[in-house]
Structure 1
Amino acid sequence: MLFRSAASAAALVLVCGLSACSGEPPKTHGEAQENRAVVVTAIATPPTKKEIASLFDDWNDVLRTGGPHDMALLYAEDGVLLPTVSNAVRSNRVEIADYFEHFLALHPRGVINEQHIDVLDANTAVNSGVYTFDVIKEGQPTFVVARYSFLYEKVGGKWLIKSHHSSAMPEAITARPSALVAAAEEPSMVADLRPSTGHDAPAAPAPPHGGGHGEGHGAGGGH
């Protein structure tokens, strides 16, 4: 009798746990499918290009205000950095922090001149293009124009840099290129990065003056 009572109690607990004691009516097959679809959609939503573009702003803010360890934390634990001003490839956070130990001594300030963003899936994206760093080298301000590519990977809900390639332009650039307009809806701009030819660019034509004198200032106008 005691055994039968214990078995009945266990069966009652099992039934309560599955349905009646939950306080909620059982979901239909259609409701379960709909809830599962909502969860899958939320997980698989890809980032916008603006969101990926803003990751450089975050990186640049830490470059300006943080230290080498702070910079290294922006990279994945096994992230790879091919840096601008060093020959050594860095393939972990310790080596990446070592690079920024030296790079931050130049007081770098970065700005993007051209960027192309590709969202590969919900957790992977690439930002590649051209950026310029203003630095202080040997006590004198100067700048470095370089090509870059950031491969971002979302890990545990946080975007980290999986791979970062940065290399100085192979041809000499004597004029600082224009900055990208960050407020653009789809950030992308091709700055004028043509190497200097040693000749000044032609001046823009002067606007015509009033009073009927504009026609006398064309080519062959005697000036």
Structure 2
Amino acid sequence: MSSLTDKHSRGRTVARRESFDKQAAEWLRAAIIEGEYPPGQRLTEASLADDAQVSRSTMRTALLYLAAEGLVVQAAYSGWKVTELSASDAREVYTLRSALDGLAAQLAAQAMTPASADQLHERLASLLEAAREHPSTRQLAEADMAFHSCIVDLANNRRLRDHYDRITGAVLLYVHATNVRASIETIIDEHTAIYQALRQGDPELSRRLAETHVLTYGADLEAELALAQSTTE
């Protein structure tokens, strides 16, 4: 993985420290989600700073950002570690995400316009294409997240967006680090139903479908993790 300096600092000077701290957080978030630093791995500010070619103080701030998102935790006597996956944590993450997705769908349906429906349909088309052509790849996860993120945008609620962004990293960590996948038919049917409810401007149906969609996946994920934990105990 290229260093943060390679990616962001060629011919540029970051004008504000806060901006650079956030770029370091983005670099580390991507590295964790992509599995370069897997769940449970110990992390030190010094080694991460070397990897990213930034100062230790910048990396320390980046770690604090990610701790707030639930991607890393402070480990006694050894600095930090990537959050370990567990059935109980998955339940918490997906219970929260279902509530956020449900609220976003309700608000988006209430404010739905033909232009908004067209925008969401573009995301749906990309998702369905990814489901058919890349059923078990990163493209599918990205298309899925883009569809749901579009609904959050259409809800037009800044605080909802803030909370959604804060949990997105944890959601992606579970998606990329596990083998839980819905069937292609389920992906197509559930997302199409959510889109149709939103296009029709039905707030309650939109909320219910969005919540059920997320909770069903979360339950499957929780079951797989519980099984994995039972075999290692």
What TM-score results when the alignment is normalised by the length of structure 2?
Answer: 0.22
Larger Rg over CA atoms:
1
User: If each structure's strand is expressed as a fraction of its own residues, which one has the higher value?
Assistant: 1
User: If each structure's helix is expressed as a fraction of its own residues, which one has the higher value?
Assistant: 2
